[in-house]
């Protein structure tokens, strides 16, 4: 039954992506704003403009443009960026690792922090401290990542300048990387100095992305832990002489994990979406930052490619969460 659901989701992926493509494509073209007008040098002739227009395929009708673009996209060609004069596919591929590293780091921080808070909250259940923890979770949940980014920027970049606030790595640090996963590569090759520089740049944006998600993880996990701890099997474990921490960790946690992954996992998409602004605020060179530039420059092919990238990431995440839940819950695995 569970596997059937996953297959159903798989089948729905292509039409969903197709829908995303159509909406973006139409949206970008029915509204005013001419990318060609933004790139021509002053004094270009009308013929020059027409030639450029034809070069980017913008002289065709919208359905024609879509068919051309979609056909090429199927073969891996997502067009050329109008503002950066490079293949969209290569541009996205070059920047994506930065965003993935940042999001992964943020997810790690969020899950770690959220888990600690949730366990603390459950441990002090029924006391005044629980009320305080719930309140704190509520506040952290209400303030979105980009506001945290600004607050952190103000606190640790300006008032107490501890950490760098721009970029992914110091420009004066002279290293060449073979991949675009800088952090992973420097860790694997043992360049710890480089890794530490990368981490210093990553920590503020990662924490900004992590805080609201940590609050979300804490809220869901805490509620799930409380519920599971009230179940008979957890109560009976007490009567078998196990200490409360041991019960929470060994009996309650594996059960609470299932709803937490199911509900919280999907929300990683929020974190991923948050990279757009947070990368912008910290001038971090990922696809989020690139997306804002693309919008400002009306770089249609690049916007399309980026939105499609995000959409694919979102869908993949949802699917991964479903699979993980199925793996965690023996009742679903066999049912």
Partner 1 sequence: MVDLAVSGPIARPSQWRAGFARGGPRLWIGVGLVGFFVLIALLAPLLAPHDPIEQDLLSAQLPPAWMQGGEVTFPLGTDSLGRCVLSRLMYAARTAIAVALIAASLAAIIGIAFGLIAGMFGGWIDQVVSRLIDVWMAFPPVLLSIVLAAVIGAGLTSVIAAIVVVDWTRFARVVRAETMVQLQRDYASAARALGLSRGQILRLEILPNLVPLIVTLFAVEMGIAILVEVILSFVGISVAGDVATWGGMIVEGRQVIYQAPWIMAFPIGCVILSVIGFNLLGDGLRAALDPVQRR
Partner 2 sequence: MTAVLAVQDLHVAIGPRGKAANVLRGASLEVQAGEVRGLVGESGAGKSMLGRAVLGLLPANAVVQSGTIQFEGRDLLAMPEPERRSLLGRRIALIPQDPMTSLNPVKRVGAQISIMLRHHLALSKREALERATELLTEVAIREPRRVLDLYPHEISGGMRQRVLIAMAFACDPSLVIADEPTTALDVTVQRQVLQLVERLRQRHGAAILFVTHDLGVVAKICRTMTVLHAGRVLEDGETADVLVKPRHPYTRALLAATPRADRPAEALRPVPPALIESLWSEAHRLDRLAVAGPA
Q: Which residues bind partner 1 (CB under 8 A)?
A: 12, 15-17, 19-20, 23-24, 27-28, 31-33, 138-139, 141-144, 146-147, 150-151, 153-154, 157-159, 269, 272-274, 276-277, 280-281, 288, 291-292, 295-296, 298, 303, 306-307, 310-311, 314-315
Q: Nearer Cβ to partner 1, position 57 or 273?
A: 273
Q: Which residues contact 262 (CB under 8 A, 6 or more apart)?
A: 321, 325
> How far apart are CB 150 and partner 1 at their closest, in Å?
6
Interacting partner of 330 out of partner 1, partner 2, none (Cβ under 5 to 8 A depending on kind): partner 2
CB 140 within 8 A of CB 211: yes
- Distance between CA 52 and CA 44 in Å, rounded? 11
Interacting partner of 329 out of partner 2, partner 1, none (Cβ under 5 to 8 A depending on kind): partner 2
Q: What percent helix, strand, coil does the chain show, rounded to 5?
A: 75, 0, 25
Q: Nearer Cβ to partner 2, position 258 or 313?
A: 258
Interacting partner of 284 out of partner 1, partner 2, none (Cβ under 5 to 8 A depending on kind): none
> How far apart are CB 286 and partner 1 at their closest, in Å?
13
- Distance between CA 91 and CA 291 in Å, rounded? 11
> How far apart are CB 252 and partner 2 at their closest, in Å?
9
> How far apart are CB 143 and partner 1 at their closest, in Å?
6
CB 57 within 8 A of CB 50: no
CB 52 within 8 A of CB 251: no
Q: How far is CA 306 from CA 88, 206, 279, 300, 309, in A?
A: 8, 21, 14, 10, 5
Q: Nearer Cβ to partner 2, position 118 or 256?
A: 256
């Amino acid at each position: 039954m569970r596997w059937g659901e996953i297959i159903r989701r798989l089948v729905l992926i292509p039409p969903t992506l197709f829908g995303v493509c159509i909406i973006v494509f139409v949206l970008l073209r029915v509204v005013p704003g001419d990318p060609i007008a933004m790139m021509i040098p002053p004094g270009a002739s009308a013929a020059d403009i027409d030639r450029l227009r034809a070069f980017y395929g913008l002289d065709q009708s919208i359905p024609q443009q879509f068919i051309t673009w979609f056909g090429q996209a199927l073969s891996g060609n997502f067009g050329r960026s109008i503002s950066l004069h490079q293949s969209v596919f290569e541009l996205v591929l070059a920047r994506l690792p930065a965003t993935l590293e940042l999001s992964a780091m943020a997810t790690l921080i969020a899950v770690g922090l959220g888990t600690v808070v949730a366990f603390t909250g459950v441990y002090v259940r029924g006391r005044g401290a629980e009320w305080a923890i719930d309140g704190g979770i509520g506040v952290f949940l209400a303030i979105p990542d980009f506001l945290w980014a600004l607050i952190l920027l103000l606190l640790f970049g300006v008032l107490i300048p501890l950490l760098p606030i721009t970029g992914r790595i110091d420009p004066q640090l002279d290293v060449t990387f073979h991949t675009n996963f800088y952090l992973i590569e420097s860790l694997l090759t043992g360049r710890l100095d480089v890794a530490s520089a990368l981490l210093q740049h990553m920590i503020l944006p990662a924490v900004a992305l992590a805080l609201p998600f940590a609050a979300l993880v804490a809220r869901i996990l805490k509620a799930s832990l409380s519920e599971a701890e009230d179940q008979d099997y957890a109560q009976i474990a007490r009567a078998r002489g196990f200490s409360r921490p041991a019960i929470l960790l060994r009996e309650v946690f594996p059960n609470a994990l299932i709803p937490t992954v199911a509900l919280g996992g999907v929300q990683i998409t929020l974190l991923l979406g948050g990279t757009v602004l947070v990368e912008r605020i910290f001038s971090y060179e990922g696809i989020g930052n690139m997306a804002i530039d693309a919008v400002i420059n009306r770089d249609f092919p690049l916007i399309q490619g980026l939105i499609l990238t995000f959409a694919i990431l979102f869908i993949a995440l949802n699917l991964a969460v479903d699979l993980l839940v199925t793996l965690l819950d023996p009742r679903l695995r066999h049912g």
